[in-house]
Structure 1
């Protein structure tokens, strides 16, 4: 059985200044909202964040940005975050933008213990400058190295007390691979059940990858609300 925390601040207390963290989710879908709020409360600084994007202004990772807690972002999408854009342009935060498929594979490789791989994405672009390129079957491929983190923060719909996780629909985006690539994985879950209650065939992340569990209620904010001309009825 894995430790189940009552306090989100307590769950993230080991995340130290200068740590590298991976954060699951895509936009605001499937993000560990309460764990991020707890990091804001702890005030930890100089974080390197690996995530698909950096949230939006005023929510998710955007809260850490606003609080000047992030020194570098490794992501595939700048998105709707104006504060992120401002800090990048002023040099307040470093950013490494990576093609989305490459980012996903670098994280997956880190979790699988694969140190590097070759991909055609980025060949012939500034991404390939001063990088190793090899030819396989007459086609050029760029060497990419794996990504790992000190801590991975993920969000799941269901978990049992052993730490097996099930994600809801599109929350499967980056959460499963990120759960495997952190030295310590902290899972924020919506519902915790007894061991044996989850169908083994439905489990997305096996318990071996998870070190901490905590149950929380998410606000599940909408990143961009779109309605018809008639409005919501």
Structure 2
């Protein structure tokens, strides 16, 4: 029942992710992230705060980049369903390369891909930012205390495309469970191989039923061309 536990756990101050290699990464929130030094000063505008960051070589040239998810600070007296502070405000995804002095080269920025926390009756949709195998990984959750029995977790995996000077979406993985029926669905799309895996059904003796493979067409979409992550739909199977 690993999938069920992962979906039902929600997300707290630190969102824990497991990458495809089985390595666990804790995406640091603003409260305990180490100082970003000059990079933060160079790329974070006034009135914004860093919620998560990850460092590593994302372009394959041996230099370290820094990926940030920042949020515009919005005053709110509202509380989340569990009584914790509700922190709305638009988010921005930025990948930059530190340079000399107090400067940084911004490689990409996306003003809407990482969604804002816009519903205090739902968990914060942003669940993690990490770098795994040189790829940028963004994780979201959808878990509501009222109004829906469904819960889901989605992982978006990006790889740097030097020709496009942007990150291409190479992997899409979504797991969903209906908490009332325990029906589950897992969709995994590998845009590099053009293959899509769909698993659906209910656990019986520890195994999911109904696995099928299909092909998908098209090139890996670029980050700049993507809508807010919750609105993205992978290409249909055929």
Select the structure that is richer in strand.
2
Question: TM-score over 0.5 for the alignment?
Answer: no
Q: TM-score range by the shorter chain?
A: under 0.3
Greater RCO, 1 or 2 (C-alpha within 8 Å, sep 6+): 1
The TM-score with structure 1 as length reference comes to 0.23
Structure with the bigger percentage of helix: 1
TM-score by length of 2: 0.23
